[in-house]
Structure 1
Amino acid sequence: MIPPRFDLTEEQLEQVIRVFYAAIRRHEVLGPVFARHVTNWPAHEAKIAGFWKNAILHQPGYDGNPMQVHMAAGDVRPEHFALWLALFDETLDRLLPAATARAWSALAHRIGNGMRMGVEDIRRKQDRPPVLR
């Protein structure tokens, strides 16, 4: 069995997901975007928890392609990722020990920046080079 990337329990992970998505639903910018795409919040939260359990705890079971989903949504904008990450960081800082929050935040930022670049790239004019920052 592969050890977790960092010190985090399954219970802590699930609490972060619950609290974070409650905050997402109340967020003035992100809430409406998510509301257009998420019709079953418990199922969405379970799927996202599965993603993080796979990424952090190395638990099998996640089946999905977050990049494809975000690019296909049509109304996800590059600037949404900074808002998402800031809200996620607030949740991590509030619920987890500092070292665990920093480690999960670093992973989330790496993934989020990759998805932001993918969304930017699909929206760029085809005669322009990709944005790599």
Structure 2
Amino acid sequence: MSQTASKPNPLRLFDITPAQIDRVLAVFYARIRQHPELGPVFNGHVGVTDDEWAAHIALISRFWRGAILREPGYDGNPMRVHMQAGDVKPAHFDPWLALFEEVTTELLPPDTARAWIMLAYRIGRGLRMGVEDLSRPAQHVPKLG
């Protein structure tokens, strides 16, 4: 009886495994929880228990698996969540991205880390623009660059 190996999805953005995604997120969010600036913001929205954080990491894992591996399973709206949070500020994105870059660089092969970091920066730039737009008076022209 032959077993067929599952073929990699040709639509995925770059070579990474679900286990690598999960590992990066576990380490990243462990550091976020302790971060002096970001920790209080995240803890205020996610919670402070390990179970609350496990649920958040599972949600974010579905997001990244969908974005990178094209797996179904995430049906949230990150832009809406960040814009409705109220205490997420444009200045939070730089330390968030720096920490994400640090963790991916530590844990992944260089090409994989670089690809994921580039994607995170593109997504982060969009989220930051949404958060910045909320703080602008309605009569001001949005800053697009």
- TM class by smaller structure: over 0.9
Q: CA deviation at 1:127?
A: 1.6
Counterparts in 2 of 1:97-116, with a 5 A limit?
Answer: 97-116=109-128
Distance apart, 1:54 and its partner CA: 0.2
Describe the superposition over 1:54-83 as per-residue Cα deviations: whole angstroms up to 9, x where unpaired: 000110000100000000000000010111
Query: Structure 1 regions of 5+ residues with no counterpart?
Result: none
Pairs within 5 Å for 1:37-116 = 37-39=45-47, 40-116=52-128
Supply the distance in 1 between the matched residues of 2:95 and 2:143 (Cα, whole angstroms).
19
Structure 1 partner of 2:41: 33
Q: Which runs of 4+ in 1 moved over 3 A?
A: none
Unaligned runs of 5+ in 2: 1-8
Where 1:130 maps in the other structure, the secondary structure is: coil
Give secondary structure in 2 for the equivalent of 1:125.
coil
Task: Give the TM-score normalised by structure 1.
Answer: 0.97
Contact kept in structure 2, 1:30 and 1:84, CA below 8 Å = yes
Percent sequence identity over aligned pairs: 57
Given that 1:70 and 1:76 are in contact with CA atoms closer than 8 Å, whether structure 2 keeps it comes out as: yes
In 2, distance between residues paired with 1:131 and 1:35?
Answer: 30
Aligned partner of 1:13: which letter?
Answer: I
CA–CA separation in structure 2 for the residues paired with 1:2 and 1:73: 36
- How far does residue 104 in structure 1 lie from its aligned partner after superposition? 0.3
Aligned-pair Cα RMSD in Å: 0.8
The structure having more radius of gyration, on CA atoms, is: 2
Is 1:129 the equivalent of 2:137? no
Partner of 2:20: 12
- The letter of the residue matching 1:50 is R
Distance of 1:130 and 1:9 partners within structure 2: 38
Q: Distance in 2 between matches of 1:78 and 1:130?
A: 14
- What is the identity, as a one-letter code, of the residue corresponding to 2:71? Q
Q: Scaled by the length of structure 2, what TM-score is found? A: 0.89
